[in-house]
Structure 1
Amino acid sequence: MNAAVSPGNWPVLVLNADYRPLSYYPLSLWSWQDAVRAVFLDRVSVVEHYDRFVRSPSFEIRLPSVVSLKTFVRANRQPAFTRFNVFLRDRFSCQYCGDRDDLTFDHLIPRSRGGQTTWENVVTACSCCNLRKGGQMPGEVGMWPAQMPFAPTVHDLHQNGRLFPPNFLHQSWLDYLYWDTELDP
C-alpha cells in the first residue's frame, strides 16, 4: 500500500471546483499537511473532516478529509504518452496473454522495422511475451493483442482508473467518487 494512502497518514481527497476528483488513477490525494496549508492560503474549501485535530499553542484545526479547489482546473484534452498511461489504457495486463506481472511495453511494428513509439503502436506486454515476439511482426509469430493500440482520451483513462481503486477509501470520500457511473435500480 502506498504510504500516502494509508489511513494513518490522513490523506485528503482533492476535488476540482465542480466537486469531481482531479483524477481517479492515481486518485487525487494530498497529505494532510498540504491540505492544511492550502486552507490557510484560501485556495481550497473544506468539504469533509476527519475526527482528528492538529494543534499549535495558539491554533486548532480539524483535519480535512475532502477539500475542493476554489479555482477550476481544466483537464488536459489529451493525456501524456507515458509508460504508466499505456499500462492504464491496457488495464495493467499483457495484451498478448493477460498476465499482470512483470509488465513492459511492446512495439506492434518493431522499432527495428520502422515502428514508432506512439499510442497507436505500443501495447502493454509481460516480459515473456515481449521476449517471445521480439523484433517480429504480430502475423509472423501469431501474436495479436487483445486490444489494438489507440490514443486514449482522458475519459478513457479515468474509466479504466476506476477499476483500480486505492487500498484505502475513507468513508467521507465515497459521496464524491464515481458520480458518473450507472446506478442500480
Structure 2
Amino acid sequence: MTPPAESCPALVLNADFRPLSYFPLSLWPWQEAVKAVFLDRVNIVAEYDRHVRSPSFEMALPSVISLKEFVPASRRPAFTRFNVFLRDKFTCQYCAVRFPTHELTFDHVIPRAHGGRTTWTNVVTACSACNLRKGSKNLRECGMELKKTTRQPTTIELQLNGRAFPPNFLHESWRDFLYWDSELDPW
C-alpha cells in the first residue's frame, strides 16, 4: 500500500549535505519540498516511491533535498525552554535523571525572587520534584547542588546533543545523511 503524501516529509540538508537541524530534525512537508523544487532552490537527493500528479505533470515526492545555497548556522542559539532542555540533555541538573520533555521544567539557580535573571547561566533543566523541593531558595538553603556548571552552549553543541535523540521515524533514504547507529569504516 502506498503511504499517503502527508506521511512523506523531506529531510532538508544544507548545501554541505548536513541536516539543517538534528533536533528537531529539519523536515519539510511534501508541499514545501515540491514548491522548493519548482522554484529551483533545492536539489533532489532521494525520492519516495510515492508520486504526485496534475493533469500535465507527474513527480516522485522528494525524501531528501539539499539547499542550493549554504545557510550558515547561527553562532548563538536562541534562548528557549527547549534549547535549555537540549543543552542539559533532557536531564534534571539536580538529581541527574533523564525525563521525557513533558515532565521537565526549568529552574532559576538563583531564584528570581533573589534577583536571579532568566539567562543561559542561571537557568537549568529540572524535574518537577526537584524544582518543587528547591522552590525559591538558593542551593545552600535547600541542600542541593548542580551536576554541572551552567553556560551558554554553541549551536554546534546543541546539534551534537540533538544527534543523540533521533526522531521516532527515520526513512531509509535519510540514514546516509544522519549519523545515528551508523557504523564507521575502519581506516
| TM-score (norm: length of structure 2) | 0.90
In structure 2, what is the equivalent of residue 154 of structure 1?
155
1:36 and 1:7 map into 2 onto residues whose CA distance is 11
* Contact 2:105/2:125 (<8 A) preserved: yes
2:171 and 2:155 map into 1 onto residues whose CA distance is 25
Displacement of 1:183 after TM fit? 2.8
Q: How does 1:88-107 map to 2 (within 5 A)?
A: 88-97=86-95, 98-101=97-100, 102-107=103-108
1:169 and 1:86 map into 2 onto residues whose CA distance is 25
In structure 1, what is the equivalent of residue 134 of structure 2?
133
Distance 1:118 1:167, change over 3 A: same
Q: How does 1:36-185 map to 2 (within 5 A)?
A: 36-97=34-95, 98-101=97-100, 102-178=103-179, 183=184, 185=186
Where 1:50 maps in the other structure, the secondary structure is strand
Displacement of 1:8 after TM fit? 5.9
Displacement of 1:18 after TM fit? 0.9
What is the aligned length?
Answer: 179
Matched AA of 2:99: R
Q: Structure 2 stretches of 5 or more lacking a match?
A: none
Distance 1:137 1:14, change over 3 A: same
Matched AA of 1:143: M
Matched AA of 2:53: R
Q: Structure 1 stretches of 5 or more lacking a match?
A: 1-5
1:7 and 1:170 map into 2 onto residues whose CA distance is 14
2:156 and 2:73 map into 1 onto residues whose CA distance is 10
Displacement of 1:176 after TM fit? 1.0
1:21 and 1:28 map into 2 onto residues whose CA distance is 6
2:41 and 2:98 map into 1 onto residues whose CA distance is 43
* Contact 2:6/2:29 (<8 A) preserved: no
Displacement of 1:118 after TM fit? 0.6
RMSD over aligned Cα atoms: 1.9
- Share of identical aligned residues, percent? 66
Distance 1:7 1:52, change over 3 A: closer
2:63 and 2:111 map into 1 onto residues whose CA distance is 47
* Contact 1:48/1:67 (<8 A) preserved: yes
Where 2:130 maps in the other structure, the secondary structure is helix
2:183 and 2:118 map into 1 onto residues whose CA distance is 36
Where 2:99 maps in the other structure, the secondary structure is coil
* Contact 1:94/1:126 (<8 A) preserved: yes
Displacement of 1:178 after TM fit? 2.5
